[in-house]
Amino acid sequence: MKYRDFLKLLDINTVHGAYLLHGEDEFFKEICLRSCEELISSDARVFDLRVLHDADRDAIMEACEMLPLISPCSVVVVKGLASGADSKDLVEYLEALPQTTALFIGVKGELDSKSKLLGFFAKSGGEVLFDRPDAAEAASWCVFTAGRLGTVLDRSVANTLVGLVGNDMVRLSNELQKAVDRVGSGGVITPDIISSSTVVNIEFKVFDAVNCLTGAKTVDGLRALHALLSEKDDQPIIVGALLSSFRRMLEGKRLMDSGLSAKAAAAKMQGKSYPNEKACTAAKKYSAKSLSELISLLSLALYEQRSGGADAAEAIESAIAAFDW
């Protein structure tokens, strides 16, 4: 089953037997393992809960023989398996697991298809797969979590955050928490807040400036670029981010010229899906030739800056201003 279905079972406390939690996403896996521990009330955990780390077969079997003293059943949570624990002996034991025990085995990453445990849990229905959420699911989680933490996050801003940070939930959670801390209880998380709080500060600002240029807000885009380029120490990073944005547009344009839709072209491109889709949509208005010429001008400005220490701001702003947006 998918972890979302498993969470529903935990919410209504209808889990029983044994479960294997594995897959790429460690963030929600850890949340689920903590929820498994909370199946036992806080005052009964010392009696009816066992949490094992990197457990071997014998430790798991011994913990599962523990009889509940207060709760309807005892709970055993295993966080990581020791070498050799994935064995035929453990599988045979699980086939006759005491009915008074609920066992949850969490492993890092996704188990190999040859795993004896995976074979058992796949047949028993106890396999819980933690695949990485897609961009839409990650954005929905951001909106929900921001609200739970007492702040407001618009879906469009959440989409931008996910597009820039990616859907690694550990990193995304950290960046969202920074934004929440910035605005405080009752605050609104805006694109400016994301820009000033995330680790992709410069990249975000360049991304936002390019969106203005391609979205019929040329003056706003030029003003944003001028402010960015005034920081001379950051110029190489800024020009590199600009080049990356326009190269992404050019790649998307060439794919669309071959007959693909913007969405299909974005799916073929490497990198994060959100900026790829934005680039392909924006590139519809321009020719591959004009985008290629703009990239050449920016590349030359970057080369001259790196080779001779020249200030690239004027050349870059002239090239951007001269382009037919």
| Average pLDDT, integer, range 64-74 | 93
Using DSSP bridges, classify how beta strands 74-81 and 49-55 pair: parallel, antiparallel or unpaired: parallel
User: Residue 87 has what DSSP assignment?
Assistant: S
Assess whether 125 and 141 both reside in one domain. Answer: no
99 and 33 inside one domain: yes
- Whether the per-residue pLDDT at 198 is higher than 90: the answer is no
The total number of structural domains in the chain stands at: 3
Helices (H), 105-168: 116-124, 135-148, 155-165
First to last CA, the chain: 49
Contact 153, 175 (CB under 8 A): no
Looking at the fold, whether 186 and 255 belong to one and the same domain comes out as no
Please report the pLDDT score of residue 144 as a whole number. Answer: 93
Would you state the pLDDT for residue 234?
65
Whether 168 and 209 map to the same domain: the answer is: no
Q: Give the tens place of pLDDT for each residue, 296-316.
A: 888 887 777 666 655 667 778
At 61, is the pLDDT very low, low, confident or very high (cuts 50, 70, 90)? very high
pTM: 0.58
Picking from 130, 137, 169, the residue whose alpha carbon sits closest to that of residue 24 is 130
Decide: 105 and 15 in contact? Cβ < 8 Å. Answer: no
Contact status, residue 248 vs residue 276, Cβ threshold 8 Å: yes
Report residue 170's pLDDT band, with 50, 70 and 90 as the boundaries: confident
Which residue, among 88, 68, 62, 57, has the nearest Cα to 16 in the 3D structure? 68
Q: How far apart are alpha carbons 273 and 65 in whole angstroms?
A: 48
> What share of the chain has pLDDT > 70, as a percent?
92
Here the CATH number for the domain that contains residue 142 is 1.10.8.60
Two tokens at 260? 């693909």
pLDDT digits (tens, 9 = 90+) for 89-140: 999 999 999 999 999 999 998 898 889 999 999 999 999 999 888 888 899 9
Residue 273 has pLDDT above 80, yes or no: no
Element (H, E) at 50: strand 49-55
Residues 221-268 have pLDDT tens digits of 888 888 888 766 667 777 778 888 899 999 999 999 999 998 889 888
pLDDT band at 81 (very low <50, low <70, confident <90, very high): very high
More confident position, 108 or 317: 108
If asked whether residues 78 and 155 sit together in one domain, one would say no
Q: Are residues 192 and 255 in the same domain?
A: no
Residues 174 and 222 in one domain: no
What SS3 state is found at 168?
A: coil
End-of-domain residue from the set 99, 129, 159:
129
Domain finish residue from 148, 181, 197: 197
User: Please, are residues 97 and 24 in contact by the beta-carbon 8 Å criterion?
Assistant: no
Residues 270 and 222 in one domain: yes
Cross-sheet strand order for the sheet of 49-55:
49-55, 74-81, 101-106, 18-22, 127-129
Q: Which helix (H) or strand (E) holds 91?
A: helix 88-94
- The residue out of 143, 169, 197 marking a domain boundary is 197
- What is the structure's pLDDT at 308? 60
- Residue 153's pLDDT band, with cuts at 50, 70 and 90, is very high
Q: 183 and 288 in one domain?
A: no
Please tell me whether residue 65 adopts helix, strand or coil conformation: coil
User: DSSP assignment of 265-282, as one string?
Assistant: HHHHSSS-HHHHHHHHHH
Identify whether the C-beta of residue 60 lies closer than 8 Å to the C-beta of residue 103. yes
Instruction: Give me the mean pLDDT over the 1-19 stretch.
Output: 83
- One domain for residues 178 and 213: no
Please give the residue range of the domain that contains residue 118. 3-129
CATH of the domain at 73: 3.40.50.300
